[in-house]
Amino acid sequence: MSSSLPDILAPNLDALIVAINPSLTSAEAGHSFSSKGNPFWRLLYESGLTSELLRPEDETRLPEFGLGLVSGVQRATRAAVELSASEQARGAERVRQVVTELKPRYVALLGLTLYPVFFPRGTERGPGLTASTIAEAPVFVLPNPSGRNRAYPGFERKLVWFHALAQTVGRGTATRTTFAEHHAPNGALGPESTREP
């Protein structure tokens, strides 16, 4: 069993989603957000961020929808509280390097606890679009999708913020489109259009 999961990356994405770290369940399965109690993939679909309901094993298709996924800390744990402050600081620096290199339009921090990791002196501690940036990319904060998230219990209280991110990047439930369709001129798709801005 691998203790980490690969990053899902491409240049010029609409949003790079930054998770805290993989769960043991996901690391054992070899795919992100594999826990049955975590509605991450359904949130992406219901919000309009993806036009298909992806499964964990479909994770490498995220760039088709203009999305990427990276863990701040790559080490899998039973709970995020097992991570040290130094691990998280190193992870934040790694993510900054990825953002600098790949230039996503937005960075979406998946969990309110990630904001102070990236911005120790920041004051915007709630969900939504912030005034903060990482390598010039605006930062959007999402609630952690975990079923254990007591601050945002239930699917709907999380969905509203995923929908807000979809609207921020120019998509929404009413107009589900793939990244290629959203960016291709006159709806024409070329062989490389899923990766192009």
Higher pLDDT, 85 or 61: 61
Strand partners, 10: none
Q: What is the largest CA-CA distance in the chain?
A: 49
Q: What is the pLDDT of residues 111-122, one digit of tens each?
A: 999 999 999 999
Q: What is the pLDDT of residues 11-25, one digit of tens each?
A: 999 999 999 887 777
Q: What is the pLDDT of residues 37-81, one digit of tens each?
A: 899 999 999 999 999 999 999 999 999 999 999 998 877 667 777
Q: Do residues 9 and 67 touch, judged by C-beta distance below 8 A? A: no
Q: Do residues 128 and 140 touch, judged by C-beta distance below 8 A? A: yes
Taking the C-alpha atoms of residue 97 and residue 197, their distance in angstroms, rounded to an integer, is 20
Domains detected in the chain: 15-195 (3.40.470.10)
**Which stretches of the chain are assigned E, i.e. beta strand?**
15-19, 67-71, 106-110, 128-134, 137-142
Strand partners, 16: 68, 107
SS3 content of the chain, % helix, strand, coil (to 5): 40, 15, 45
